[in-house]
Structure 1
Amino acid sequence: MSNNRLIMIVIDALRFDTACSHMGFIQHLVEQGKMARYEVKSEVPSLSRPLYETILTGTPPIVHGIVGNSVVRLSTQESLFHLARRSGKTTAAAAYYWVSELYNHAPFRHRMDRIQLDQDAPIENGLFYFEDHYPDSHLFAEAEWLVSEKNPDFLYIHPMNVDDDGHKFTADSVEYRNRVLATDALLALTLPKWLDAGYDIIVTADHGMTNDGNHGGNTTSDRHVPLFIASSKVKPVIHDQIISQLQIAPLACYLLGIDPSEAMAPLIISGLVD
């Protein structure tokens, strides 16, 4: 029985193939009938800031206007944070500072905006980092604090170390693959507790990473990312359907039990439980 509460984890630059081959704990949940697996084709350009906005608003870059990483302004769209708050739900994020710039304040003020608690803003409680090598272990500890102390209905978690190692060493490197293993280990420490607390879980990525150590283009390595879902509202099997990244926001609305925005595409992915 879903409690209409959701934790969304967006692992920056996690390729679909590497997720399938190196996330042993997540694959265990899939094999044990606890989690569904899909393959997602991201929007282009396959860059971070545009795709954060796409994931959280369900709109493509041509609509939301965040067409590159250098576009620094507040979102003009209705995000999951806006929709959740309007529906009376509480929101939180442990994420890269670009997320704060999209939904709470732009530009990011490093001394003032790192810790944002009990705000009258789309993200009520936010802990934001601004170094790409900021340890994922610290970020997940902060996410656990938000769950324990703020008890949000919608929590967004965004670790960066997979992307950081991909840029430094390329996707075809020991370092990249080992970082994915390390991220999976962090999920193993946190997901069981959050599932026991009644949260639905989404694990996905904004974009992939190429063997050149970059992303932004139109290749499978750039665009194909995983989507893992743990919810009584989704059949916990491996789904062959490759779905659009535009489906993630309406899916999150479905799991939260809130109405999607008018700009979002209809939810048409397979495996939903009526």
Structure 2
Amino acid sequence: MITFFVIGLTVHVVFFISIFDIYFTSPLVHGMTPHSTPLEPPASRLVLVVADGLRADSLFTLLPNGSSRTPYLRSIIEDKGTWGVSHTRVPTESRPGHVALIAGFYEDVSAVAKGWKENPVEFDSVFNESRHTWCWGSPDILPMFAKGASGDHVYTHTYPAVEEDFASTDASKLDSWVFTQVKSFFKSAQSNSTLKASLWEDKNVFFLHLLGIDTNGHAHRPMSQEYLDNIGLVDAGVAEVVSIIEDFFDNDGRTAYVFTSDHGMTNWGSHGAGHPSETLTPLVAWGAGIQKAKGVTEPQPYNDGFLQDWKLEHLRRVDVSQGVLPLLYLNNSERFKAESMYTNAIQVLEQFKMKMMQKKETTLSFLFTPYQYVQ
């Protein structure tokens, strides 16, 4: 009996430890040689707008009278940009969602031990690779990217944490704050020669994090008037900001815009799991280097019924997920697309080389057998 107990305990301990070895080990690889596409990019700057907690159906579904609660973004879909559904994954929380959007990977679950608010490991991001990044929004989201950035080129502007009140009557004020700050920022740049010169440089990113929709969804649920009205407010705010940015840069046609969300929300106002209402988020892109809306000439590869529900079956839908270069969003030469695919492949190869070297260093030599390619 004692032997049986010891064996059983040992097996359970091994299984318990294996969970942490498998799931609480960072997936990140450090030390690779970075690669970039050698060709001139079509855009000088990126404006990234993330409407936290926005469901895909809440944006794309028309009102009973056939109009849209987001007339500006709907016009972009119809006339100027490419649209689709971005597929997030569990855990559908703001921290891992933004890491996936901005850094390009799904964060390991060990970040939950820090409440999804601190970096369990350092990682690279689009912001870190930019010349300058200006951010406006939540104090829970923005600082984590500034903290991980090398140098001093990621500037964050946040409202006080006390403003994030889930019992608030209407949290859309959080998004109004962001839009007001962005407008003031570009207005002040008109009379600040140093700032203006920085803004006109290439490789700049402007990030607007909009938490109002998520907060209203938690407080009032996604079918509430507060949640739906907040979506309309965001649409109007995006339209105004785009106009201001285009005017500031003299309509030079060098600005790319991406509007999306980090996760959705269930009908009862929660998120974190894998229900489609939580994992399906909207994606609308337009501007420099982005393909314009294209009519459909053949059946679209989607049978989920959304195209008909959203009255968008006449426009090509392009969904995105992690690890796949979204070529259908790009409006550029075939050479540029080929170079982008090649660079992406080389970067993946660099990760493989680094992982293989790490594995070799931590494995007994007689147990390490490299993969042999056989024709």
Q: Give TM-score scaled by structure 2 length.
A: 0.58
- The amino acid that maps onto 2:320 is I
Residues 200 and 231 in structure 1, CA contact (< 8 A), matched pair in contact too: yes
Out of 113, 121, 124, the position equivalent to 2:152 is: 121
Aligned counterparts of 2:115 and 2:153: Cα–Cα separation in 1: 22
Distance 1:40 1:51, change over 3 A: same
Alignment-derived partner of residue 135 in structure 2: 93
Alignment of 1:23 onto 2:41: no
Alignment-derived partner of residue 272 in structure 1: 330
Alignment-derived partner of residue 184 in structure 2: 145
Task: Report how far residue 229 of structure 1 moved.
Answer: 0.8
Alignment-derived partner of residue 43 in structure 1: 89
Q: Deviations over 1:49-104 (max 9, x none)?
A: 11111111001123x853477133236110111111xxxx2211012112333123
Alignment-derived partner of residue 261 in structure 2: 205
Residues 255 and 288 in structure 2, CA contact (< 8 A), matched pair in contact too: no
1:1-274 aligned within 5 A = 2-21=42-61, 22-31=69-78, 33-62=79-108, 65-67=110-112, 70-74=115-119, 76-84=122-130, 89-105=131-147, 120-123=151-154, 125-129=155-159, 130=161, 131-132=163-164, 133=171, 134-148=173-187, 149=189, 150=195, 152=199, 153-196=204-247, 197=249, 198-237=254-293, 238-244=315-321, 246=322, 265-274=323-332
Distance 1:268 1:7, change over 3 A: closer
Larger Rg: 2
Distance 1:178 1:56, change over 3 A: same
Residues 43 and 289 in structure 2, CA contact (< 8 A), matched pair in contact too: no
Task: Report how far residue 201 of structure 1 moved.
Answer: 0.8
Greater RCO structure (CA 8 Å; 6+ sep)? 1
Residues 93 and 271 in structure 2, CA contact (< 8 A), matched pair in contact too: yes
- Report the count of equivalent residues: 236
Identity %: 22
Deviates more, 1:216-225 or 1:190-199: 190-199
- The amino acid that maps onto 2:277 is S
Residues 12 and 205 in structure 1, CA contact (< 8 A), matched pair in contact too: yes
Residues 256 and 290 in structure 2, CA contact (< 8 A), matched pair in contact too: no
Residues 195 and 201 in structure 1, CA contact (< 8 A), matched pair in contact too: no
Distance 1:271 1:201, change over 3 A: closer
Look up the SS of the partner of 1:229 in the other structure: strand
Alignment-derived partner of residue 366 in structure 2: none
- The amino acid that maps onto 1:194 is I
Relative to its length, the structure with more strand (as a share) is 1
Aligned counterparts of 1:239 and 1:68: Cα–Cα separation in 2: 41
Aligned counterparts of 1:105 and 1:15: Cα–Cα separation in 2: 29
RMSD of aligned Cα (Å): 2.4
Structure 1 alignment gaps of length 5 or more:
107-118, 247-264
Task: Report how far residue 219 of structure 1 moved.
Answer: 1.1
Residues 82 and 286 in structure 2, CA contact (< 8 A), matched pair in contact too: yes
Task: Report how far residue 235 of structure 1 moved.
Answer: 1.4
